[in-house]
A and B are shown apart, each in its own frame.
Chain A
């Protein structure tokens, strides 16, 4: 009998519930994204959103999976990293469910969950992962019992950069899709700061320069085009450095920004040059959602990695490389 795990994701703007079976099938995956009428995400408002929509989202995930709460064997939740208030609300719901149903609780690292769900979908054994979202920009690979961050942003995440620019020019949050659409209308390139440092990169200078171009009257489509080409070119470079350095033969693209087709094309090119396989996580599993938490919960539970309710405090600054990856059996 496969186990059934219900996973709760609530590290930032989205509250998601996924129900996954231990044979790898996703029974349901429902989420509700907090989208403020104006401005950015305020942690307290987002956490209120999570507690408001929480019960409805859980009920709808159970209905879509066509299971009763009693059939759940395991509760997993996003323990970090993320916004403190959002994490605490989500953890409270998870503890309540675990106690009420008398089933074990598993604390999942949000970044690692993105990798694990991508590995499930792609059947990759040992990928270099490009994880790009509104809150994170990291190049991660497994080495010595840990997922290690080989490169990351030194300031803001690529999704944050795109959203902040979008907001400055009157686009709705999140702005990635509209920027991608606009970029397709142009082919004139305006030079923007290209900032790669080793396997790290920086986006804040590019954001300032793009806003300046906009204030000078440069056509929006041309700025969007230049933003994408520069930002994704930088990502390609650090991904390529990580592949050349680790000699791994799989490249996985995940996170909300993985929905971008231009980024996908560029990284496909990178993989091809190094004879690596490439996989982009499908749109429904790319962003923040509960299925990835549930699946990682299944995997961790299988290795005996559970959490007592009394020890289940959240970890807002939980680094990817701080967790012992006890469930993987890849040799170094």
Chain B
């Protein structure tokens, strides 16, 4: 049994029932409005990158769903379904104390990735699943990269801050503050260089 869950920006997510268990099937369909060469290249590289980086992240201690199957020709992955809610959906629902704990943990997981030389590439609250035991899982690794430089980590933090601003403007301070507590605790002395780069990145790209 297959059921479409969401139409994302670059993929369609299905829920799949097999052997009495539930899985996620993530398919990257063609986009006819793009040049085919670019579209094909992106769909292939994002699919294989996601498959690989989910495993790399797990080896760094970051909970991620396991990939069971990859079809590179069909640009499709099948992975474990994490039963829970997006962190995005919990903001404004849970208490301030719980929110702080969740965001600190989010910051810690991003810190673990960065410490291991990996950037997530799209660290928004939509890409964090909180399961029933309040354990956090990171998903959506199609833009993740290895051998990350300070610049790449700075961009990652900038994107995280941006997501807080645009999506959670009414809880922005609590979320940012506690995410950075978790991040600093994990990254230790490496944190400040990345954070100051992130602030610098924020001022680029516009008139000066």
Which chain B positions have C-beta within 8 A of A237? 9-10
For chain A, residues 245 to 267, give those with C-beta under 8 angstroms from any C-beta of chain B: 245, 265-266
Query: Interface segment, B30-38, B47-55, B98-106?
Result: B30-38
Query: With a CB–CB cut-off of 8 A, which chain B residues contact A194?
Result: 38, 42
Closest A residue to B29 by CB, please name it: A273
Q: Which residues of B sit under 8 angstroms from A149, Cβ to Cβ?
A: 162, 166
Asked whether B124 lies within 8 Å of A198 as measured between CB atoms, the reply is: yes
Segment at the A interface, from B65-73, B130-138, B188-196, B198-206: B198-206
Which residues from 292 to 319 on chain A have a C-beta closer than 8 Å to any C-beta of chain B? Answer: 316-317, 319
Closest residue of B by beta carbon distance from A196: B143
Q: A197, B155: Cβ atoms under 8 Å? A: yes
Determine the main DSSP class of A at the interface with B. mixed
**A residues near B116, Cβ cutoff 8 Å:** none
Q: How far is the CA of A155 from the CA of B207 in the complex (A)?
A: 11
**B163 A198 Cβ-Cβ under 8 A:** yes
Whether B8 pairs with A244 at a CB distance below 8 angstroms is yes
Are A269 and B32 in contact, with the CB atoms below 8 A? yes
Q: In the complex the two chains form, is B34's CB within 8 Å of A144's CB? A: no
Contact B166 A243 (CB under 8 A): no
Instruction: Kindly report which residue of chain B lies nearest to residue A87, judged by CB atoms.
Output: B207
Contact with B along A134-160 (1 / 0, CB 8 A): 011100010110101111111111000
Q: How far is the CA of A143 from the CA of B167 in the complex (A)?
A: 8
Q: CA–CA, A141 to B162, complex, Å?
A: 13
Q: What CA separation (Å) do A230 and B35 show in the bound complex?
A: 8
Docked CA distance A152–B42 (Å): 20
Q: Are B35 and A236 in contact (CB under 8 A)?
A: no
A233 to B37, CA, bound (A): 11
Residue pair A229, B38 in contact (C-beta under 8 Å): yes
Contact indicator B38/A317 (Cβ below 8 Å): no
Q: Which of B32, B169, B208 contacts A317 (CB 8 A)?
A: B208
In the assembled complex, A327 has its CB within 8 A of some CB on chain B: no
Q: Are B34 and A137 in contact (CB under 8 A)?
A: no
A317 and B207 contacting across the interface, CB-CB below 8 Å: yes
Residues on B with C-beta less than 8 A from A270 are 33
Residues in B whose Cβ lies below 8 Å from that of A150 = 162, 166
Q: Is the pair B33, A81 in contact by a Cβ cutoff of 8 Å?
A: no
Asked whether A321 is an interface residue with its Cβ less than 8 Å from the other chain, the reply is yes
B72 to chain A, nearest CB (A): 19
Chain A residues in 8 Å Cβ range of B32: 269
Task: Find out whether the CB atom of B33 lies under 8 angstroms from the CB atom of A266.
Answer: yes
Is B165 among interface residues, defined by CB-CB distance under 8 A? yes
**A241 on the B face (CB < 8 A):** yes
Complex CA–CA separation, A270 to B34 (angstroms): 9
Report if A107 contacts B (CB, 8 A): no
Convert A215-245 into 0s and 1s, putting 1 for each residue whose CB lies closer than 8 angstroms to a CB of B.
Answer: 0000000000000011001001100110111
* Nearest CB in chain B: distance from A278 CB, A: 11
Whether A240 touches B205, Cβ cut-off 8 Å, given contacts A198-B163, A229-B38, A233-B35, is no
Q: Write the chain A residue with the least CB distance to B151.
A: A154
In the complex, how many angstroms separate the beta carbon of A199 from the nearest chain B beta carbon? 7
Q: Considering only CB atoms, which chain B residue lies closest to A200 in the complex? A: B159
Q: Is the CB of A148 within 8 A of B165?
A: yes
A29-43 interface (Cβ within 8 A of B):
none
Pairwise interchain contact B9-A241, C-beta atoms closer than 8 A: yes
The answer to the question of A127 belonging to the interface, with a C-beta cut-off of 8 Å to chain B, is no
Asked whether any CB of chain B lies closer than 8 Å to the CB of A268, the reply is yes
CB <8 Å contact, B34 and A236:
yes
CA distance A99 to B122 in the complex (A): 50
User: What is the minimal beta-carbon distance from B197 to any residue of chain A, in angstroms?
Assistant: 12
A residues lining the B interface (CB < 8 Å): 11-12, 81-83, 135-137, 141, 143-144, 146, 148-157, 189, 191, 194, 196-200, 229-230, 233, 236-237, 240-241, 243-245, 265-266, 268-270, 272-274, 316-317, 319, 321
